[in-house]
Structure 1
Amino acid sequence: MTINKDGEPVLKRLKSPPEPKEVEELESKIRELMPERSVLDILCNVEHWLNWTRHLGPLSGSEPKFKQSAERYIFTTFGYGCNLGPNQTARHSRGVVTSHMISYTNRRHISTPKIEAAIRDIINAFNRFSLPSIWGTGKKAAADGSKFEIYENNLHSEYHIRYGGYGGIAYHHVSDKYIALFTHFITCGVWEAVYILDGLLKNLSDIQPDTLYADTQGQSGPVFAISYLLGIKLMPRIRNWKDLTFLRPSESATYKYIDPLFKGVVNWNLIKTHWLDMMRVVLSIKAGKVMPSTLLRKLGSYSKKNRLYQAFQELGKVVRTMFLLEYISSPKMRTEITAVTNIVEKYHDFLDWVCFGKDGTITENDPIEQEKRFKYLDLVASAVILHNTVDMSLAIQTLMARGEPIHQRYIKALSPFITRHIKRYGDYVVNLQSIPQPLEAAINLPPEIFET
């Protein structure tokens, strides 16, 4: 490891290998075997497999009185999830639904918890497939935010310095299996690290990560401390080295080659004094009495009078020092962090494709409805990811049945964010009479893949 004149580590960049020709050829063959579908076709097929619309219905809890409730819910999910809105969706539905029917269904029959329940069904079904297990373990997730344009005159609209323009942030937790586990809608002025742990705790699906990756905004002293106490391994990318402090365990501790990195000494007495208080806070979080974001907002004041904040900050610096020492000494670890965080960046691009209506601008001013829009978007995106996984699995089975050898490492380089075979425009028709292939036919890949 090299240290510069300011005592900071100089990290060598690893050259990523070019994408092998075999991967491109495999992806091309798979795409050729994937049938062309519309987004509505995908939502209908997923409804056949999972009956996800059963979670939707009147907020009173009574049975829906619509003659064709599933079709109504699919149209509503599509209209709001792709950001077309009720008017444009109705105009392309061949008179099947009106804008009033769609907006009424959204207001009276669908809530954020109901959409989350439907998304959870899709995630659990996706997790049954063997193809995603090649992409990732499910024990890792990445958190990052993506800016969406919204109107200036509402409670959530703020000017974002990094991205420019007014809007809000959709903060996603995406598994290393390429599917989003939870999404928050937050204002641009909020430090993203405040919400980094909420998504894992609110995620009730079968995919339960214990390692969380993020960019530099996803870390601070208290975040490292609370993650450590909750048993979550925090793995952020590091950019602003000058702002971070390496702590020695004692005044007498010296290190032959990296001693210039250390600027302070751990205050073990402060941690010991407030240890029981910190554990009470963590137990409250685990019991669901308080969310980490609530606590981190309180601890984000940097108050010198708040001894609990100082204790969390001190413990966080200890944990972060150990992480940073591993970070600068392990090229493999840095490569892994970049690879997993790139997954959430790809997911942002995929969402931009799905949210094609109104140039991606959220036209709703109500914060509750804004949050619901992003839940709709995640629902549509999750359905597309599941259906792509089904189609890709069937295509791989077909190729192997033809006798074509397929190596597992080439499949690992693929992702379910394929969109070339999906139609977004034209007349929107719900056809639940078209029965798809059984879901079980695509769950397991041929065992020969795992032997290579």
Structure 2
Amino acid sequence: MLEFRSNNTAHRPVIDALTLITRYAKAGNLTYYPIGETMPTHRGTSGDWSDLVYRADTRGRQRVARMVYEVVTFQALREQLRCKEIWVVGADSWRNPDEDLPADFEQRRGQNYGELRKPLDPAMFIHDLRSEMTAALGELNTAVPGLEWLDITDRASGAITLSKFEAAPEPRNLRRIKAEVQRRWGTVALIDILKEAVLRTGCLADVSAVAGSGTLPVDVLAERLMLAIYAYGTNTGIRAVAAGGGHGHTEDEIRYVRRRYLTRDTAQAVAIGIANATFTARQQSVWGEGSTAVASDSTHFRSYDQNIFTEWHSRYGGRGILIYWHVERGSMVVHSQTLRASASEVHAMVEGAIRHGTTMKVEGNYVDSHGQSEIGFGITRLLGFDLLPRIKQINKVRLYRPAAGQPDACPNLAPALTRPIRWDLVEQNYDQMIKYATAIRQGTASTEAILRRFTRSASHPTYQAMLEVGRAQRTIFVARYLRSRELQREITEGLNVVEAFNGANSVIYYGKGGEIASNRQDEQEMTVLCLRILQAALVYVNTLMLQDVLAEDDWAELLTPEESPRADPAVLAARPALRRSQTRHDRTPQHPNCAAGQRPVSGSSAKRRP
């Protein structure tokens, strides 16, 4: 039914083997292929499988077992499809990988390089990257003897030993401010928080404009849209929300509005509108300068056994789907996406950082171990933002040398050092790497489809070059991470924000035991987007409440410098310059509503009923 092709002659045997299998598909119960038949040999037929593929029949003749040959061919096909060495005619995600690249790249070469802020000359790119590596390793080598939290010695378990830093004391006055918010406004219903956010931000204006030619009054449409968003975001369902009464809208009326007006693009626009309104409403005197870093992480949502799209996730130990969030330092979600259980978090991290759609400028992304890889470091270097991971097994990380022929350089780091970077590969494939980075930035194909080429089973030369760039960039990051306690705390604080965000999701998304009932992908995406809208509205309203309290001199003067939401100049000055000279990060402390890993106070703890 499918037609497979490849742009690499090395994989032609797999396609020829598929032709052979197709020809004998209706041959019945055939144990061996006929003698004299030409059998394409590929790497799947060698190694451990060769003794099973080539067997002697009852007459002692060497034959090819049909069933085993089919199995190893399909395994080889799967591996090459994953990295798009083999592609499918007429497909979208699995199409010819050359079609994923921008067609006008050659005509707009200078502009494409300029938009990525990369030099046209590969020698300049290599010089800058190698200079950063040399400087980062040199600074770490000099600092190692005086770093009490770091030990680099030759041991079997890993050369690097990094001790944990002590937890910061919980700010006591933030609890008093939360209590004051609770005293003034009490426990606010979540539907009221959503209504307040909609009225103040006007985020439903575009939907109302689309419905302007209809017969529904604008205010009626807005009410029904909010009820539909609430039904999806809390997982209670439209029927339960309609049965709650008191609003005068029937189940059929809410379902009609959901079906006609609440689309994926509409829900995403509403979430982005609330996020942008929050950024605008924040007072710099309270929150400091705007943050340019986001934290991203996935959370597992359970689903019913009857869901035909259900996957079992080995890491989370249960059935369901993954939701990948991008949350900035003030607890505002800027992007969300659904992932398969087997999907890589690296492409999700890149996708959210460059296509979040809000007014926020992302220059850094905090991730956990699953959101980083050598390819991730390489592509983020080319795209122009920092990958800032918390690496779980940092003791086994190897630091690459910036140049060959310098075995005595950085003696304090010798146990953790490995081979030099292969700069010749980077130079030879520099233009092709920029082409792939341009494709991701311009969205000529999905980030997942493009990065699918860069897997371990790929033999693509650009993949090898991207690995070398990633190894160089990861070496720069690890060298600075080991040396700077401030950077370690910053990454941990950023990831704590997204963990607190996930904790609040479990409270808001309470209907049906928190399990997704629908097996339709569009319904699952709508559920996630509506949950994102409720979270954004919650943060928006809480931000206004906190600013209202802190506007009074007595409360503003109560906070110590450590507790104040303002960015501490001393901390900013001590922060290492992780970015290149043309970019920077702003350190905005954690949202007071999520301090010490707690969930937001107002409107998040009492939402068990519509």
TM-score range, shorter chain: 0.7 to 0.9
Query: Is the contact made by 2:338 and 2:525 (CA closer than 8 Å) also made in structure 1?
Result: yes
Per-residue deviation, residues 259-288 of structure 1 (Å, max 9, x unmatched): 111222211111110001011111222223
- Aligned twin of 2:576: none
Q: Does 1:25 align with 2:176?
A: yes
Equivalents in 1 of 2:206, 2:556: separation in Å? 43
1:415 to 587, 593, 606: 593
> Which residue of the partner structure matches residue 99 of structure 1?
251
Code of the residue aligned with 1:3 in structure 2: it is I
**Residue 2 (structure 1) aligns with:** 151
Unaligned regions of 5+ residues in structure 1, if any?
Answer: 429-452
Name whichever of 70-79 and 92-101 sits farther off. 92-101
* SS of structure 2 residue aligned to 1:393: helix
* Residues 403 and 212 (structure 1), Cα distance of their counterparts in 2 relative to 1, 3 Å cut: closer
Aligned to 1:446: none
Residue in 2 that maps onto 1:424: 607
Structure showing greater radius of gyration is: 2
**Deviation at 1:156?**
3.9
Q: 2:295–2:327: 8 Å Cα contact kept in structure 1?
A: yes
Aligned counterparts of 1:45 and 1:165: Cα–Cα separation in 2: 37
CA contact (8 A) 2:379 2:466 kept: yes
For the 8 Å contact 1:223–1:296, the answer to whether it is kept is no
Assess if the C-alpha contact under 8 Å between 1:86 and 1:100 holds in 2. Answer: no
Is it true that 1:16 corresponds to 2:170 in the alignment? no
Q: Deviations over 1:151-209 (max 9, x none)?
A: 23445421111211101111000011210000011111112112111012211211122
Q: What is the aligned partner in structure 2 of residue 439 from structure 1? A: none
Structure 2 match to 1:434: none
- Picking from 428, 441, 444, the partner of 1:273 is 428
TM-score with structure 1 setting the length: 0.87
1:382 is matched with 536
The 5 A counterparts of 1:185-334 are 185-241=338-394, 244-254=397-407, 255-300=410-455, 302-334=456-488
Answer whether contact 2:549 2:555 (CA < 8 A) is retained: no
Match of 2:299 among 129, 139, 146: 146
TM-score with structure 2 setting the length? 0.66
> SS of the counterpart of 2:305?
coil
Q: 1:56, 1:115 within 8 Å by CA — same for their partners in 2?
A: no
Report the equivalent of 1:441.
none
Q: Distance in 2 between matches of 1:3 and 1:313?
A: 25
Q: Aligned to 1:113, which of 250, 261, 265? A: 265
Match of 2:215 in 1: 65
Q: Distance in 2 between matches of 1:174 and 1:66?
A: 36
| Kept in 2: contact 1:210–1:232 (CA 8 A) | yes
Residue 263 (structure 2) pairs with residue 80 (structure 1) = no
Structure 2's unaligned 5+ residue stretches are 1-149, 566-589
Counterpart among 173, 178, 182 of residue 331 in structure 2: 178
Residue 165 of structure 1 aligns to which amino acid in structure 2? G
Partner of 2:201: 50
Q: State the secondary structure of the residue aligned to 1:209.
A: coil
Identify if the C-alpha distance between structure 1 residues 241 and 409 changes in structure 2 by more than 3 Å, giving closer, same or farther. Answer: closer
* Deviation digits for residues 227-271 of structure 1 (CA, Å, limit 9, x no counterpart): 001111100001123664321123322321111112222111111
Which structure has more RCO (C-alpha within 8 Å, separation ≥ 6)?
1
Shift of 1:348: 0.3
Alpha-carbon distance between aligned partners in 2 of 1:252 and 1:155, rounded to the nearest angstrom: 57
CA deviations 1:367-426 (Å, max 9, x no partner) are 12101110010001111110111112112224x268963445424361265235554245
Separation in 2 of the partners of 1:226 and 1:268?
16
Structure 1, 17-26 or 192-201: larger mean CA deviation: 17-26
* 1:371 equivalent in alignment to 2:521: no
Letter in 2 for 1:231: G
Please say if residues 222 and 312 of structure 1, whose CA atoms lie closer than 8 Å, have aligned partners that are also in contact.
yes
Partner of 1:394: 548
Q: How many Å separate the matches in 2 of 1:253 and 1:93?
A: 76
- On the 8 A contact 1:145/1:170 being kept in 2, the answer is yes
Aligned-partner Cα distance in 1 for 2:433–2:223: 50
Partner of 2:136: none
Q: Flag the 1:128–1:420 CA change in 2: closer, same or farther, 3 A.
A: closer
Cα 1:364–1:403 shift into 2, 3 Å = closer
Q: Give the aligned partner of residue 343 of structure 1.
A: 497
- The alignment of Structure 1 onto Structure 2 pairs a total of residues equal to 424
Q: Which moved more, 1:327-336 or 1:168-177?
A: 327-336
